[in-house]
């Protein structure tokens, strides 16, 4: 009888447990309270693992409330190759748009970071892994031009690991050159570009605009590189160093300038803008 009573008690307690109360951390694999994770800007209270943020969440984290004005919100992708494989590209686009509420994998706009005006852009991994198609490249180029026009800093958060979106063929590949050229023009004019790398930032994104910041920040333990470590090991038939392609490894070798905790990112961005732009303006062309 005692055992039957215990089983009923356990069963009743399980039924009373609210759904979604805890989540498993992808870093330490521990169950952690969802509320604690959300209170820490989606970081694990046990190991400080940084969970992925959506584009709206990143804007809320870094941009002053009520100051963000999205630019070119209606710009959406096309299907120039009429691509069809396991699933048609146009169907993938519709699915991603329905899932995220975004037109494509990037949101850009004007805003303020602790009062400092800037052009702010962020990619969203929920939309085809944040891959860079024509719209992403075009918005980055336009955002760069707008920052130059307004003589204000440009901040781009690479919130995804996607490379060139091959469903669009060479129209996607050319965005690497286009964004790089726009940023070179901005740099020559004296503009300040801050690139923020999150987990993961890889492939064509890393091989173009993400690596071209005047100041490059990264979140802790972010995977950063062109090809993943597993592919590299298989190619060169050698074991890679511990922590290869993580933020900490790249900081030691001078590839990035600083690792910044998510909770401190907005303050750090404001300090950099204040330091780098004091008494200076971007020369108009």
Name, in order, each residue with C-beta under 8 angstroms of 113's C-beta and a sequence gap of 6 or more: 62, 63, 64, 120, 155, 266, 269, 270, 273
> How many Cα atoms sit within 13 Å of 215 on the Cβ side?
19
Q: What is residue 283's three-state secondary structure?
A: coil
Q: For strands 22-24 and 31-33, give the pairing.
A: antiparallel
Rounded CA separation 217/223 (Å): 13
pTM here is 0.83
- Tens-of-pLDDT digits for all 285 residues of the chain? 455 555 554 554 444 445 578 888 878 887 888 888 887 878 887 787 787 788 999 999 999 999 999 999 999 888 888 888 778 888 888 998 899 999 998 999 999 999 999 999 999 888 888 888 889 999 999 999 999 999 999 999 987 667 788 888 888 888 889 999 999 999 999 999 999 998 888 787 877 888 899 999 998 888 777 766 676 666 767 676 676 678 888 898 888 899 999 899 999 999 999 998 875 544 433
Indicate the helix (H) or strand (E) that contains 106: strand 106-113
Rounded CA separation 23/222 (Å): 20
Name, in order, each residue with C-beta under 8 angstroms of 5's C-beta and a sequence gap of 6 or more: none
Rounded CA separation 185/179 (Å): 10
What domains are defined for the chain?
A: 1-50 (no CATH), 52-277 (3.90.226.10)
Angstrom CA distances, 61 to 43, 171, 223, 256, stand at: 13, 32, 21, 22
pLDDT in the model for residue 47: 83
> How many Cα atoms sit within 13 Å of 120 on the Cβ side?
25
Rounded CA separation 252/9 (Å): 54
State the burial class of residue 167 (Cβ atoms within 10 Å of its Cβ: 0-12, 13-18, 19+).
buried
pLDDT in the model for residue 15: 45
State the burial class of residue 23 (Cβ atoms within 10 Å of its Cβ: 0-12, 13-18, 19+).
middle
pLDDT in the model for residue 13: 47
């Amino acid at each position: 009888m005692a055992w039957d009573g215990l089983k009923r008690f356990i069963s009743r307690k399980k039924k009373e447990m609210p759904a979604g109360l805890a989540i498993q951390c992808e870093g330490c694999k521990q169950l952690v309270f969802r509320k604690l994770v959300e209170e820490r800007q989606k970081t694990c209270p046990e190991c400080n693992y940084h969970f992925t943020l959506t584009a709206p969440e990143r804007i809320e984290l870094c941009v002053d409330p009520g100051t963000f004005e999205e630019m070119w919100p209606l710009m959406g992708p096309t299907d120039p190759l009429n691509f069809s494989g396991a699933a048609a590209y146009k169907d993938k686009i519709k699915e991603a748009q329905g899932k995220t509420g975004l037109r494509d994998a990037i949101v850009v706009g004007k805003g303020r970071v602790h009062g400092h005006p800037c052009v702010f852009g962020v990619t969203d991994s929920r939309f085809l892994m944040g891959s860079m198609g024509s719209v992403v490249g075009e918005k980055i180029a336009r955002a760069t031009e707008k920052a130059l026009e307004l003589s204000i800093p440009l901040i781009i958060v690479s919130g995804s690991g996607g490379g060139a979106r091959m469903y669009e063929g060479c129209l996607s590949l050319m965005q690497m050159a286009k964004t790089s050229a726009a940023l070179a023009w901005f740099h020559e004019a004296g503009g300040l570009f801050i690139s923020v790398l999150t987990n993961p930032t890889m492939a064509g994104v890393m091989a173009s605009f993400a690596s071209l910041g005047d100041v490059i920040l990264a979140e802790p333990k972010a995977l950063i590189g062109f090809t993943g470590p597993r592919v590299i090991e298989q190619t060169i038939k050698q074991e890679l160093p511990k922590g290869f392609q993580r933020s900490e490894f790249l900081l030691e070798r001078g590839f990035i300038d600083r690792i910044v905790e998510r909770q401190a990112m907005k303050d750090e961005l404001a300090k950099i803008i204040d330091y780098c732009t004091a008494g200076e303006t971007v020369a108009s062309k």
